[in-house]
Structure 1
Amino acid sequence: MTTAVPAQLKKLYRQGRVVPFVGAGASMSLSWTIPGSTEVLRGPSWREMVDEACRQLGYSDPELLRYRGNDLQILEYFGQKKGNFAPLTNWMVKRFQVPEAAIRASRVHTALAAFANSKTFYTTNYDDLLEQCLGLSGRQVKVVARERDMGGSDKTEVVKFHGDFNNPDLMVFSEAHYYKRLRFDVPLDFKLRSDLLNRVALFIGYSFSDLNIGILFDLLNEMLKSLPDSETGKRAYIVVNNPSDFEYTLFHKRNIEIIPTYGDQRTETLAQVLEEIVS
């Protein structure tokens, strides 16, 4: 069961004023098998990535390190011990070798590609699944990861807000990376502020515990306040599965409206919401 998409959001989409912001949940919704194997793979979650970092550090039980510190601190420790994040990045690249057929079969990615009125997408994901699904739908795509990538094109933009495999020096992994990123003083931050003028963000594949959500919108609400010429004034919407008063209260404080979905079929209900927005 899903809830109706707010009429105001559908109106903003028709006006070309919705900027999708795609998180790890979208990649995790995709599944595929390796040729010759029956094992079903999915895009790794943040927790799985940190678990792998622990294993590469020699800890068979990741909880032993989580007893010592949080995930960002574990990744900071990884970077110090390994000298860089290349071993972890290489593992992720292998995990994201997704067959084209699986991307075409992904209902969530197909629905994202159908956002024809959205010319700019943001993502904190490192993988290229979003770019691939847009390209497979016939849309010309330009990846924006740094200042030199900006402007000069009428292609659909995919802004890699935390870097990607092609820009490993920009990938945000560790505690130090996040502290540096929180300054919000690099060209991508200025672009985000510009892209959200008179537009709303639609968060897809994020949970409230994701650091990106709270930080981004504490900043943007301070700068931009309510959306002008909007019946609700909301700056953002987020799809949340089985939300409670906890999520409603804290997202409301950040001027983010929840689009709730219900049940255990998260992928299907998310896809239904995306399809309804463009209908």
Structure 2
Amino acid sequence: MTAPKATVPAELRKLYGQGRVIPFVGAGASMSLTWKSHDGYETLRGPSWREMVDQACRLLGYEDPELLRYRGTDLQILEFFEQKKGNFAPLTNWLVRRLDVPEAAIKASRVHAALSALGASTKFYTTNYDDLLERALTLAGREVKVVAAERDMGTSDRMVEVVKFHGDFDNPEAMVVSEGHYYKRLRLDGPLDLKLRSDLLNRVALFVGYSFNDLNIRFLFDVLNEMVRSLPGSDIGKRAYIVVNNPSDFEYTLFRKRNMEIIPTYGDDRTASLAEVLEQLVS
């Protein structure tokens, strides 16, 4: 039986046409990419947060990551990693190698093609550390400015901004990885926090590539709701939308409590469903 197609809300399509939608791109977008290893024997994809933490455990000498998870949360494991190793360089080096994605794979990504085709959106936010989004936009012929720190702010009207909300490999000092980093960001007083607050004026956020058990989306819920609490009321009464695959009453209830409207998708092919929503937005 064919899964029903996703339907993008009419009000969101209207807002997109007015240039008032800011896509927020999560790990699911990077995980949708697949490519062959250099030797051609292995099919690779972007790693998940859990896979990154698993690798941190292995670099610490724990072959079974669950032994550390028994002791603490993923964020605490990463804080432990930083204390034991002195920095995140060993883990960052692994991520850089894992995300050495060939240009052909980015061109072949339906999700990244759909993101790049969002011509009415001139600002993108991402919690991903990789450079796949900006590479896709560049390959699509768009002029890109990456913003990871205050020094990067300020761009021309012709450029599209990719705001690295949790830093990236070129700005390791700005990477939000450990429990301490998240607590610091929750103060909402950094340059990127102030920029997001400004960018949200008269706009809505569209979250793609996130799931409810994603650490970043739970953090962003708190950030977004804290920020919009004192902003002028939106003319449609909503501040954020999120694409969720096969949502249940559980997701509907908890997302709505956080003032986020679900755009449901269905079926087993999350990548195709997500791309379909993005393509509908501009159709």
2:226 maps to 219
CA distance in 2: counterparts of 1:59 and 1:43, whole angstroms: 22
User: What does residue range 54-65 of structure 1 map to in structure 2 within 5 Å?
Assistant: 54-65=57-68
Match of 2:176 among 148, 172, 175: 172
2:280: which partner in 1? 276
Measured in 1, the distance between the counterparts of 2:188 and 2:164 equals 15
The 5 Å alignment of 1:73-84 reads 73-84=76-87
**Residue segments in structure 1 that go unaligned for 5+ positions in a row:** none
- Give the structure 2 partner of residue 131 of structure 1: 134
Q: Tell me the alpha carbon deviations over residues 66-94 of structure 1, each in whole angstroms, 9 at most, x when there is no partner.
A: 00000000000000000000000000000
The 8 Å contact of residues 30 and 102 in structure 1, kept in 2 or not, is answered as: yes
Pairs within 5 Å for 1:158-197: 158-197=162-201
Instruction: Measure, in 2, the Cα distance between the counterparts of 1:244 and 1:213.
Output: 21
1:130 Cα deviation (Å)?
A: 0.3
Q: Secondary structure at the match of 1:247?
A: helix
What does the per-residue CA deviation read over 1:112-154, in whole Å, with 9 as the maximum and x for residues that have no partner? 0000000000000000000000000000000001111111423
| Match for residue 20 of structure 2 among 1, 17, 21 | 17
User: Judging changes above 3 Å, is the alpha-carbon distance between structure 1 residues 91 and 45 closer, same or farther for their aligned structure 2 residues?
Assistant: same
Matched, 1:114 2:117: yes
Structure 2 CA distance for aligned equivalents of residues 192 and 242 of structure 1: 29
Query: Paired residue for 2:9?
Result: 6
Could you tell me how far apart the structure 1 residues matched to 2:109 and 2:164 are?
21
How far did 1:219 drift?
Answer: 1.1
Q: 1:35, 1:94 → 2: CA distance?
A: 11
Q: How many residues align?
A: 276
CA contact (8 A) 1:22 1:203 kept: yes
Match of 1:199 in 2: 203
Specify the alignment match of 2:261 in structure 1: 257
Please, what is the CA RMSD of the aligned residues? 1.1
Q: Which moved more, 1:28-37 or 1:132-141?
A: 28-37
Q: Is the 8 A contact 1:5 1:276 kept in 2?
A: yes
Q: Deviations over 1:183-232 (max 9, x none)?
A: 1101111110111101000000111123333222321342237412x2xx
**Residue 70 of structure 1 aligns with which residue?**
73
**Identical residues among aligned pairs (%):** 71
